[in-house]
Structure 1
Amino acid sequence: MSSYLKRFFSTALKGVLVALVLLAGFSVSPARAGDQEGFRLWLDQLAPEMIQQGISPATIGRVWPTLSFDESVIELDQKQPEHKITFAQYLKNTLPETRVSRARELLDENRAILNDVAARYGVPAEAIVALWGIESSFGDNRGDDPVLNSLATLAYEGRRADFFKKELLEALRIIDEERRDPDFLQGSWAGAMGQCQFMPSTYRRFAVDYDGDGVRDIWENLGDVFASMARYLAAEGWQAGQGWGKEVMVIRPVPQQVLGRETPQKIETWRQFGVRELSGQPLTSPQPQAYLIQPDGVGGRSFLVYDNFLALMKWNRSTFFATSVGLFMDKLKAPLSNRQSP
């Protein structure tokens, strides 16, 4: 038994107090940000709860002594942008030509694996590479923060305590179930892991051991990375053989109540509202109904989107993000002679 567990389980008074706190439904709040003493007390309170949820005492004994309150994580969580950027600015940042060019190269280099994954899950290679590029810049920006420490810090801080405590529990389950070294779980300051930036709960539900080596490795194994991303989209409703949407022209204001991803309309209805092809020709669509979104609001660019767009929104709830992934896909599919700026 580790020295931490000996200390934890041998202190009878502390155990009684912790049990009383849990039964009463109280929680220990930090007196101030960066309060290491308060953080340690909170961990002592949390340990029996995690064990009750099925985490082995041995894992608690290995992990708990390594955790410390990281004030830099809280600062990043609370940091707010000074102003809202436009969709054009977002696209400029997200889809620079250097990223698109590299995506085309990596699409060709990994074509065999990507085609096999696409056949298995019905998710096109271009969608996988687009997400890969935006999420982690093709694995270059996967993060090297200790995930367990980040999640514990965010759960203790309290602003989104329930969410991050759940993710901490899921991360501990990964260690238990897959016999991972705690140091192996590295990612962003918010706990997103690997080249596809899965939170621990997403990893447990969707990560794939593509090559059958007994390990679901979304950090280094590209087959596992691609298959995990495809499995996620397929489970969230991606329909094989259907596109995500397209940019359209709107020749007059569309009623606000029919805009957005909650109000699909028949294609004929969109025609009546003045929606046309970007070329100005009458609107056509392979789908019987669609949604109309305007990421920048009235007067901005308009996109007719389908149910696959909703699957992208489940990956990330940002309309900017989902539209950028769709435009990225289009650029990867476009022949050399027909490639334009987003």
Structure 2
Amino acid sequence: MFFLKHLVNHISHFFIIKIIIMCALLPTLAHAVIADNNFPNCKANLAERAEKLGFSSYITQTVIAGISPIEQVISFDKKQPEFTQTFEQYIKARVTSYHVRVGKEKLKQHKKLFDALEEKYGVPRQYLVSFWGLETVYGKHKGKMSILNALATLACDERRSAFFTQELLNLFTLIETKQVTTEQLQGSWAGAMGHMQFMPSSFLKYGIDGDNDGKIDLWTSEVDALTTAAHYLNKIGWQTKERWGREIKLPESFAFDKVGFDQYYPLSYFQELGITKTNNQPLPNYDIQAELYLPSGHRGPAFLLYPNFNVIMQWNLSKSYGLSVGILANKLVGAKGLAFLPKGQTNVKPYSLAKMKNLQNQLNALAFELGKPDGIWGPKSRRAIRLFQIQHQLIADGYPNDDVFSTVNSVINKGQVIP
């Protein structure tokens, strides 16, 4: 007993913090659901959970007692632009001349820092600046919403309670270990914080004191924020000297039925199918896996996505976001941007979540099973739409265009529904 007490007295404060962090990130917390439509009941569930996990009375009584719901948060969560805008609308709002101009200034301003980060973490500087620009417009819009209240609101909502409950508990750990104060906890409606909009779990696991001032400050220290971002991308699998992907050109008579979406093929396979660079030059003879992605269907731009794109997707699961990161990064180092868009719009109109959800219901009824309808054009929906298109002699681009909506309605009206 004396030995244990003596040992504890000599454990560094830093080591104690690391122990607490490790405990806070235990997988069991993933099941710590506290959802309840009655917010006071939800707060009681949260306080009980926090007490069982060993948080102090400051957390279980003072902090939790001060939490209140934000009704706007649920509305924002249901209307994310990644799911309500066309790719062209999304990209034009986020890869602007301002983003490029200020991003290039940031590359010059932090040249020494980026030199060091590239050497240590292997992540090219243009990607770090691209994430920075897309997340907060280089710190201009870091968010002014209470992170505590936002996370609590989302944790009490049944749809994604497990995820946001764990993020809230991780935030309690940051407060408990004095890495943040409740006064500075302002950020996005989803609970993301600072220049790079990290969630509490990422702060805990990947946060770095880049300027060596004894604390990790993701709000006011650009050095800490950028260093943390480089560390994060390195740890989740960024492949040094590999690009994210490229815009490509499909041949006039491209065999859409030869390529499944959301799956990888050798780059050489796409060469065989006649795909070229946008300048009509052949694709490189390079041993890498690639995925074909058509964000607006066959009428819009086309891309081959490489493994680093999956790393970008771990930051944000939207492919439109991932493409924005890659395209802005390219422009920051001199590329011209998309070859397709200057030629004009694709005339692809945004579809509502309700319309997409109805299409998913119809495809399920026609035995093109894609799971529970959610109104989101994801991998299962792309696969189901593609199979429907192949069966009905439509261009099999996996995109919910007008031809798909009208043909599905026609088939349903003719009574060709699986009982």
Change (3 A) 1:88 1:42: closer
d(CA) in 1 for partners of 2:187 and 2:35?
Answer: 27
Q: CA deviation at 1:93?
A: 0.6
Q: Which residue of 2 aligns with 1:125?
A: 125
Change (3 A) 1:290 1:108: same
Q: Which residue of 2 aligns with 1:100?
A: 100
Q: CA deviation at 1:102?
A: 0.9
Q: CA deviation at 1:339?
A: 3.9
d(CA) in 2 for partners of 1:155 and 1:172?
Answer: 13
d(CA) in 2 for partners of 1:99 and 1:325?
Answer: 11
Matched position secondary structure for 1:260: coil
d(CA) in 1 for partners of 2:167 and 2:82?
Answer: 29
Q: Which residue of 1 aligns with 2:401?
A: none
- Structure 2 portions without partners, runs of 5+: 1-31, 340-419
Q: Which residue of 2 aligns with 1:223?
A: 223
Equivalent pairs counted in the alignment come to 307
Contact kept? 2:34, 2:161, Cα under 8 Å = no
Q: Which residue of 1 aligns with 2:294?
A: 294
- Structure 1 portions without partners, runs of 5+: 1-24, 31-37
Contact kept? 2:33, 2:162, Cα under 8 Å = no
Contact kept? 1:146, 1:183, Cα under 8 Å = no
d(CA) in 2 for partners of 1:249 and 1:57?
Answer: 61
Query: What are the residue-to-residue correspondences of 1:169-180 with 2, within 5 Å?
Result: 169-180=169-180
Residue identity opposite 1:260 in structure 2: F
Q: CA deviation at 1:90?
A: 1.5
Q: Which residue of 2 aligns with 1:29?
A: 36
Q: CA deviation at 1:259?
A: 4.2
Q: Which residue of 2 aligns with 1:237?
A: 237
Q: CA deviation at 1:70?
A: 2.0
d(CA) in 1 for partners of 2:83 and 2:190?
Answer: 22
Corresponding position: 1:207 with 2:214: no
Change (3 A) 1:84 1:253: farther
Q: CA deviation at 1:217?
A: 1.0
Matched position secondary structure for 1:72: helix
Contact kept? 2:179, 2:216, Cα under 8 Å = no
Residue identity opposite 2:36 in structure 1: S
Change (3 A) 1:185 1:256: farther
Matched position secondary structure for 1:279: coil
Corresponding position: 1:182 with 2:182: yes
Q: CA deviation at 1:82?
A: 12
d(CA) in 2 for partners of 1:171 and 1:265?
Answer: 40
Q: CA deviation at 1:261?
A: 3.9
- TM-score, normalised with respect to structure 1: 0.83
Contact kept? 2:143, 2:193, Cα under 8 Å = yes
Change (3 A) 1:166 1:94: same
d(CA) in 1 for partners of 2:160 and 2:224?
Answer: 30
Q: CA deviation at 1:279?
A: 1.4
Residues 61-92 of structure 1: CA distance to partner in whole angstroms, max 9, x if unpaired?
A: 33023211222223323346698432222211
d(CA) in 2 for partners of 1:72 and 1:96?
Answer: 28
Change (3 A) 1:45 1:244: closer
Q: Which residue of 2 aligns with 1:248?
A: 248
Change (3 A) 1:80 1:231: closer
Corresponding position: 1:282 with 2:282: yes
Contact kept? 1:247, 1:303, Cα under 8 Å = yes
Q: Which residue of 2 aligns with 1:10?
A: none
- TM-score, normalised with respect to structure 2: 0.68
Larger deviation, residues 153-162 vs 321-330: 153-162
Change (3 A) 1:145 1:116: same
Query: What are the residue-to-residue correspondences of 1:67-86 with 2, within 5 Å?
Result: 67-79=67-79, 84-86=84-86
Q: Which residue of 2 aligns with 1:111?
A: 111
Change (3 A) 1:26 1:340: closer
d(CA) in 1 for partners of 2:111 and 2:206?
Answer: 22
Matched position secondary structure for 2:247: strand
Residue identity opposite 2:254 in structure 1: P
Change (3 A) 1:27 1:230: closer
Contact kept? 2:192, 2:199, Cα under 8 Å = yes
Matched position secondary structure for 1:297: strand
Q: Which residue of 2 aligns with 1:194?
A: 194
* Alignment root-mean-square deviation, CA: 2.3
Q: Which residue of 1 aligns with 2:333?
A: 333
Identity %: 34
